[in-house]
Homo-oligomer: A and B are copies of this chain.
Amino acid sequence: MTTDPLVVFTPSGKRGHFPVGTPILTAARQLGVDLDSVCGGRGICSKCQITPSYGEFPKHGVTVREDALSEWNAVEQRYDDKRGLKPGRRLGCQATVQGDVVIDVPPESQVHRQVVRKAAAARAITMDPATRLYFVVVEEPDMHSPTGDLERLERALREQWQIDAVTADLSLLSKLQPTLRKGKWEVTVALHKGHKDSVARIVEIWPGLHEGGLYGLAIDLGSTTIAAHLTDLDTGEVKASSGLMNPQIRFGEDLMSRVSYAMMNPGGDQEMTRAVREAINDLVTSIAEEAGIDPALIVETVFVCNPVMHHLLLGLDPVELGQAPFALATSESVSLPAREMDLTTMNPRAQVYILPCIAGHVGADCAAVALSEEPGKSQDLVLIVDVGTNAEILLGNTTRVLACSSPTGPAFEGAQISSGQRAAPGAIERIQIDPVTKEPRFRVIGSDKWSDEDGFEADIATTGITGICGSGIIEAVAEMRMAGLLDESGLIGSAEQTGTSRCIPEGRTHSYLIHDASAEGGPRITVTQGDIRAIQLAKSALYAGARLLMDEMGVDKVDRVVLAGAFGAHISTKHAMVLGMIPDAPLDKVQSAGNAAGTGARIALCNIAARAEIERVVREITKVETAIEPKFQEHFVAANAIPHKTDPFPELAKIVTLPTPSFNTGGDTEKTGRRRRRKA
Q: Which residues from chain A sit less than 8 Å from chain B, CB to CB?
A: 140-151, 168-170, 173-174, 176-178, 197, 199, 314-317, 319-320, 324-332, 336, 340-341, 357-360, 623, 625, 627-628
Contact = CB atoms under 8 A, between A and B. Distances in A.
Given A146-B326, A150-B331, A151-B330, 14 more contacts: A143-B359, A143-B360, A143-B627, A146-B331, A147-B331, A148-B327, A149-B329, A149-B330, A150-B332, A151-B331, A168-B330, A170-B315, A174-B317, A197-B199
Contacts of A319: 177
Given A170-B315, A177-B316, A315-B170, A148 B324 contact: no
A173 B328 contact: no
B326 A176 contact: no
A176 B360 CA distance: 16
Nearest to A314: B170
Nearest to A150: B330
A474 B141 CA distance: 38
Contacts of A329: 148-150, 173-174, 176-177
Contacts of A628: 143
B316 A141 contact: no
Contact of A173 (B169, B173, B330, B360): B330
A330 to B, nearest CB: 4
B625 A327 contact: no
A199 B194 CA distance: 14
Contact of A328 (B146, B316, B326, B358): B146
Identify whether the interface residues of A are mostly helix, strand, loop, or mixed. Answer: loop
Nearest to A324: B143
B341 A170 contact: yes
Contact of A325 (B143, B150, B336): B143
Contacts of A317: 174, 177-178
Most interface-central of A169, A170, A326, A623 (chain B CB within 10 A): A170
A9 B319 CA distance: 51
A330 B315 CA distance: 34
13 contacts: A141-B326, A141-B327, A143-B628, A146-B360, A147-B331, A149-B330, A170-B340, A170-B341, A174-B316, A177-B316, A177-B329, A197-B197, A197-B199
Q: Which 9 A-B pairs have the closest CB atoms?
A: A148-B331, A141-B327, A146-B359, A148-B330, A150-B330, A148-B328, A143-B625, A143-B325, A141-B325
A625 B314 CA distance: 50
A48 to B, nearest CB: 32
Contacts of A173: 314, 316, 329-330
Contact of A148 (B145, B150, B357): B357
Nearest to A332: B151
A336 B146 contact: no
A149 B314 contact: no
A277 B340 CA distance: 20
Most interface-central of A173, A177, A319 (chain B CB within 10 A): A177
Most interface-central of A330, A331, A332 (chain B CB within 10 A): A330
Nearest to A628: B143
B330 A623 contact: no
Nearest to A196: B165
Contacts of A623: 144-146
Contacts of A625: 143-144, 146
Contacts of A360: 143, 146
A150 to B, nearest CB: 4
A357 B150 CA distance: 13
Contacts of A146: 325-328, 331, 358-360, 623, 625
B174 A328 contact: no
B148 A332 contact: yes
A276 to B, nearest CB: 14
A201 B319 CA distance: 25
A155 to B, nearest CB: 12
Given A316-B173, A317-B177, A326 B143 contact: yes
Contacts of A332: 148, 150-151
Nearest to A316: B174
A178 B317 CA distance: 9
A282 to B, nearest CB: 21
Contacts of A336: 169-170
A149 B328 contact: yes
Contacts of A148: 327-332, 357
